[in-house]
Homo-oligomer: A and B are copies of this chain.
């Protein structure tokens, strides 16, 4: 008996071990080389106001996808399969942590109420608008057998704004108010849409009553408060440990390592406890930049500041490269190419819904928020409202991750509808990122000149 167990174990091991898998070496080398190219090209194109690293990475990713598609004779356009794990475990934490670490805290806390209002209530309003409109429009079109829970998922998927992309577009130093509002909203929005999406997974549309809604709201508040608490607690703990033990006395490296590891630990703990890791690591970043950062040695301060920004920068560039390359995956487009008209129609409708869904809360909530403000200066001006509306139109990796989660798992009987939803999501993401980025750049340039 023992022999068989060991034989099975060894077989498993030998499969898992192998010599370094050649394919993974190839894909890692390719990605690292492309990342270098993105940095160099992004630097060379810096003077060009229409492009930045993200768009460069997206375009390089698309081009690489085309090259791979041609060399593999149309079999595949990507070297890595899009993996939620890669995104949620490795790429997202450094980006959001760094955003918290570098955010202008004064602005952020001054606008805390507005940010929460936009991020939580606004996302809900956008979710209802998109879901209801999707039910009304799509159920009349003949696209597979999508049911109500699918339409609700679509509402959640397309309510998730891309906070990473927003960071690239607005400038913290030039427009601190808009930046903190839009970015803060993005973080809360991420949390809200993930909560919404998870709540919808085990949701029966025939059983909506007050208790279900109350339960949902309670769950959301619990999540919000406990995630924030966990982040703040980990941040304070790191500050205490580093000050009390004076770890930098012997080695800067240990100090930096501890700060990095504890920040990451906060995210992973939150994920483990089914909280929102994004919220946790964001608040952990804020607390660490406010307390821990002042307890470390001078060289640790320089190192952490730049190392976190670098990691976040690499993760962002990687993400856009990846989305660009993955977008061309040929299998996904089989259905779309069978009925191109319908595909374009659905993508356009979704884009329209995103526009409407966002307008449906930005303008009313700005109006509400303005009612509570006394001076004219504190109010959100009409022009600022337009920038907020526009800046939050981008849909990014969170939407893609949620769409994959929903439409590649929920049974293969509804293949037609599922495939079309995946391709439409990719279309909306690519289109909204590229177009709204470009338009926002010129729009906000104009707005900057008007406000300043």
Q: Is A371 an interface residue (CB 8 A)?
A: no
A11-B412, A299-B306 are known contacts. Are A314 and B29 too (CB-CB below 8 A)? no
Q: Is A14 an interface residue (CB 8 A)?
A: yes
Binds B, one of A2-10, A54-62, A182-190, A215-223: A2-10
Q: Is the CB of B25 within 8 A of A271?
A: yes
Q: Which residues of A contact B (CB under 8 A)?
A: 2-3, 5-7, 9-14, 16-21, 24-26, 28-29, 32-33, 35-36, 39-40, 42-44, 46, 81-85, 88-89, 241, 245, 247, 250, 252-254, 256-258, 260-262, 264-265, 268-269, 271-272, 299-300, 302-303, 306-307, 309-310, 313-314, 331, 334-335, 404-405, 408-409, 412, 415, 418-419
Q: Which listed residue, B3, B35, B46, B310, touches A415 by the CB 8 Å rule? A: B3
Min Cβ gap A256→B in Å is: 4
Q: Is the CB of B26 within 8 A of A272?
A: yes
Residue numbers in B under 8 Å from A3 (CB-CB): 415
Q: Is the CB of A306 within 8 A of B268?
A: no
Min Cβ gap A54→B in Å is: 13
Can you report 9 A-B residue pairs in the complex whose CB atoms are below 8 A from each other?
Answer: A6-B331, A11-B412, A14-B409, A18-B409, A19-B84, A20-B84, A24-B85, A36-B262, A39-B247
A13-B408, A306-B299 are known contacts. Are A85 and B36 too (CB-CB below 8 A)? no
C-alpha spacing A29/B309, complex, angstroms? 23
C-alpha spacing A415/B33, complex, angstroms? 42
C-alpha spacing A44/B40, complex, angstroms? 44
C-alpha spacing A306/B409, complex, angstroms? 44
Residue numbers in B under 8 Å from A5 (CB-CB): 331, 334
Q: Which listed residue, B24, B29, B241, B419, touches A40 by the CB 8 Å rule? A: B241
C-alpha spacing A81/B264, complex, angstroms? 22
Residue numbers in B under 8 Å from A46 (CB-CB): 250
Of the listed residues A7, A82, A303, A309, the one surrounded by the most CB atoms of chain B closer than 10 A to its CB is A303
Min Cβ gap A178→B in Å is: 22
Q: Is the CB of B313 within 8 A of A28?
A: no
Residue numbers in B under 8 Å from A24 (CB-CB): 85, 89
Which 9 residue pairs spanning A and B have beta carbons closest together?
A: A303-B306, A29-B268, A253-B309, A256-B310, A307-B307, A9-B331, A302-B302, A253-B310, A14-B409
Residue numbers in B under 8 Å from A89 (CB-CB): 20, 24-25, 28
C-alpha spacing A335/B309, complex, angstroms? 50
Residue numbers in B under 8 Å from A19 (CB-CB): 84, 405
Q: Is the CB of A43 within 8 A of B272?
A: no
Min Cβ gap A227→B in Å is: 15
Residue numbers in B under 8 Å from A32 (CB-CB): 261, 264-265, 268
Min Cβ gap A161→B in Å is: 21
C-alpha spacing A14/B412, complex, angstroms? 10
A40-B241, A82-B17 are known contacts. Are A35 and B261 too (CB-CB below 8 A)? yes
C-alpha spacing A13/B404, complex, angstroms? 9
Residue numbers in B under 8 Å from A271 (CB-CB): 20, 25, 29
Residue numbers in B under 8 Å from A412 (CB-CB): 7, 10-11
- CB-nearest residue of chain B relative to A317? B257
Min Cβ gap A243→B in Å is: 13
Residue numbers in B under 8 Å from A265 (CB-CB): 29, 32-33, 36
Of the listed residues A6, A81, A245, the one surrounded by the most CB atoms of chain B closer than 10 A to its CB is A6
C-alpha spacing A144/B425, complex, angstroms? 58
A250-B46, A256-B310, A303-B302 are known contacts. Are A83 and B16 too (CB-CB below 8 A)? yes
C-alpha spacing A419/B2, complex, angstroms? 12
Min Cβ gap A318→B in Å is: 10
Residue numbers in B under 8 Å from A25 (CB-CB): 89, 268, 271-272
Q: Is the CB of A39 within 8 A of B257?
A: yes
